[in-house]
Structure 1
Amino acid sequence: MSQWLVLSARGLCGGLFVMVFALIGELVTPKQFAGVFSAAPAVALAGMSLTLLFQGGPQVTESALGMIAGSVAMVAYCASAVPLVTRLGAVGGTIAALGVWAVVAAAGRALIAVAG
């Protein structure tokens, strides 16, 4: 299948999912929960849908595991960023928090490789 066709389908599907999630975000009350329905889940679902369509189930499993590992790493980054920025300042704390993210993401990738 043409690479341009796949990219076009990903763009259209991603845009459609973003639009649907934006509408859900507008309907949700209280508005503090609207961020849960931001673009990231929509783009992830669009990407996984097209991966399933064009490449099959095993690739979707691999993508989903990667998204889970990335999410855990992002939670670790967020949990460490505030105390690190408070202690080390903006630049130092951000760099240290990125280090936390990198270590957790690498550990997640290693666990996925061992399990697979």
Structure 2
Amino acid sequence: MDDVWLIVARGVFGGVLVMCFALLGEATSPKRFAGIFAAAPAVAIGGMVITALSDGRRELAESGLGMVAGGVALVAYCALAVPLVRRFGALKGSTGALVLWAAVAWLGWTVIS
């Protein structure tokens, strides 16, 4: 039952943070920054706060390193998705970029763990 409350707490806390960051995004100019402020930081901060409170510092450090590895993989995905989609089309290009993302994320996680 504690796991259920932990999941509920993560969802509620993450949702509140998403709302706060969305308000920050609405207050900034240009509006294209709204997406940057809306989801990723709020979900990361919410997840990390709940992890710190429920599991401790060691698990928090592991979670943070996992986010770094995922962020590096996302940058690799973004850098190659557009050229791959242009060259091979939407389905093949996106699939290729996703495979690259998975490889970079796996390599990053292997290196840091």
TM range (shorter): over 0.9
Is 90-99 or 62-71 further displaced after alignment? 90-99
Mark the runs of 5 or more structure 2 residues left unpaired by the alignment.
none
**Root-mean-square deviation (CA), in Å?**
1.2
Asked if 1:72 is matched to 2:51, the reply is: no
| Displacement of 1:4 | 2.1
Separation in 2 of the partners of 1:73 and 1:61? 18
Matches within 5 A, 1:1-116: 2-113=2-113
Separation in 1 of the partners of 2:33 and 2:4? 36
Is 84-93 or 69-78 further displaced after alignment? 84-93
Q: Which aligned segments of 4 or more residues in structure 1 are displaced greater than 2 angstroms?
A: none
Mark the runs of 5 or more structure 1 residues left unpaired by the alignment.
none
Aligned length: 113
Separation in 1 of the partners of 2:91 and 2:32? 28
Matched residues, percent identical? 54
Instruction: Give the TM-score taking structure 2 as reference length.
Output: 0.93
